[in-house]
Structure 1
């Protein structure tokens, strides 16, 4: 109880401001409070512990509270949302609210509000989502007598793709994996993003780095060369058995395109240098791998001809599988890193 009172005092200081109404909180009459809510237990719950949303859109982080047994009326409560920075760092305030009074903070100013669709609804609405918004959020409800909390994780919806070094399989350390993804208009994927992509059908028998420093690979169709047929489908995790093996591939993530990717139809196929020049002559740049995946995922790009990309690889995107265009599943087909003198078409990118 003492901790709850201290927290209320802290929240009272946080929520005060020139634009807020004075707050006469109910705990001024503790005897009246105890008489009405004695024996009740505050419950706080998140119906959806992980939320996936699209960059630039609005989303809702669910949080609701109730009492057991249910009192005749809900007490006035303080609701505090924070962004969780880590075990040893202090959480960052997102907003605090009670009744009709609220205050938002920092980069969240003007972008957040409470939904309040029903009694006990403490869901947080965030608009104009940014990549920096990804992470864990803490919803805390305080009523003066006790407090309860729950954590909700926010992930951006996009596409995860495997990526290897041009020199071949398993040539990237953790930092190198981060840099490789960033060089191709993407970032290193989180474990949750890789898990979500596996749920959507990603099946890849090569291990790659993700953001927490672990190495994983997603399997939807178990087979001998990928951990054995007897194992269930899932995202495999490399453990200490491989602690001395510090070079793998990477899993990259992109959630935005920011332009148009198109196949430039040349008079004849081109070397890599000729392909780069052809895109420049067309007022564009040679497309990066992340941009091709984004165009395939978000815009439905479908083209059954291999084309050069920025990293020197040759790939082509298929959303409508058909004969002579690879496997029966949609995907971005990978033809490797041919010699730069080899001749193919090219995928170009024009920013909007």
Structure 2
């Protein structure tokens, strides 16, 4: 019995060695830790009752595509210190389009790591991010040239030796959700084709939160579509037969996660604000699809994409009762102020679907 207890006894004696005789232990949290503790002569670690707090006055920030945004993060000590400490900060990111998995803890992506005047940014954020540092303890992250895929949850983690604390901030982009389907008809897109279809129209697959906001603003669509998390859902504002049943309450109908390769549905895309301008080209005659694309090019622009038309309608108030070609071969027109002979009484983007390319319409250009 005494023999069996010796390893434990040796381990205890080792841990109780005086500080000057102990070895350095390594900790791994993407940083190298130094021993900055105060010893009491018995090798015990304590921080004199000082507590590190990391906080944010905003847990959700909304911005526009192409702009700059600041995600607030501040740290402080309780009680306050009389001299500055050597701290590190790590900003990480969980994209809003993270696919639903069975993992309990989704993997976050590093955005920036900084200590003192040294810092490093990663991936698509390289060269676009910096720390604000407007006051002592300010570790707010500034992101320039916001992109569609920048949405998601950002974590600000401050590390002081063995102490660390963190706070999260959600970043959302102001924009518009629109349903989209293939030229082949309804329910011809698996998840990956849906992703590409949205990207082709200057958009991304919408998140659940974006679709929920669109539903709250009145989006009603009785065809199921992919979302960024790999689920399939659709928004219903007026329950009726064939859309989940007329006995159900309004809301988002969900099919849950589906096989991303084998199952096919439509897509819900999200487009944010655009830097350029979408306009209806005043031309002396109607055009087929090839002529329409050429006419925009001659005007110093390009034929507009569906996401650009939706963004111009929703965010810039584009209102035009003239059907025009778009880059995907569809024909649509945006109505902000509903009126006679311009479709239904609600505002929206009207669609003629995908007419034969030889048919004649106007065209919407993007510059």
**What's the TM-score, normalizing by structure 2?**
0.73
Give unpaired runs (5+ residues) of structure 2: 1-24, 99-104
Runs in 1 of length 4+ with deviation above 6 angstroms? 240-245
What is the DSSP-based 3-state SS (H/G/I as helix, E as strand, rest coil) of the residue aligned with 1:303? coil
Number of aligned residues: 330
Which shows bigger deviation, 204-213 or 339-348?
339-348
Q: Which residue of 2 aligns with 1:82?
A: 92
- Which among 97, 112, 116 is matched to residue 94 of structure 1? 112
Q: Which residue of 2 aligns with 1:152?
A: 169
| Distance in 2 between residues matched to 1:50 and 1:126, nearest whole Å | 15
Which is higher, the Rg of structure 1 or of structure 2? 2
| Distance in 2 between residues matched to 1:230 and 1:120, nearest whole Å | 55
| Distance in 1 between residues matched to 2:271 and 2:227, nearest whole Å | 13
Greater helix share, 1 or 2? 1
Please state how far the C-alpha of 1:92 moved relative to its aligned partner.
2.0
Which string of whole-angstrom CA distances, capped at 9 and with x for unpartnered residues, describes residues 108-156 of structure 1?
A: 4463114556x76543232332345344322213344532223333343
- Shift of the 150–274 alpha-carbon distance from structure 1 to 2, 3 Å rule, reads same
- 1:29 and 2:38 matched: yes
- Which among 108, 125, 130 is matched to residue 112 of structure 1? 130
What is the DSSP-based 3-state SS (H/G/I as helix, E as strand, rest coil) of the residue aligned with 2:253? strand
- Shift of the 35–60 alpha-carbon distance from structure 1 to 2, 3 Å rule, reads closer
- Shift of the 273–141 alpha-carbon distance from structure 1 to 2, 3 Å rule, reads closer
Which string of whole-angstrom CA distances, capped at 9 and with x for unpartnered residues, describes residues 247-271 of structure 1?
A: 1111122225353322123334333
Contact 1:8 1:142 in 2 (8 A): no
**What's the TM-score, normalizing by structure 1?**
0.76
What is the DSSP-based 3-state SS (H/G/I as helix, E as strand, rest coil) of the residue aligned with 2:27? helix
Which string of whole-angstrom CA distances, capped at 9 and with x for unpartnered residues, describes residues 206-260 of structure 1?
A: 2111222211222344444433455444333212699997111111222253533
Give unpaired runs (5+ residues) of structure 1: 13-24
Which string of whole-angstrom CA distances, capped at 9 and with x for unpartnered residues, describes residues 26-64 of structure 1?
A: 935356x947416x6x55455544433222222122345
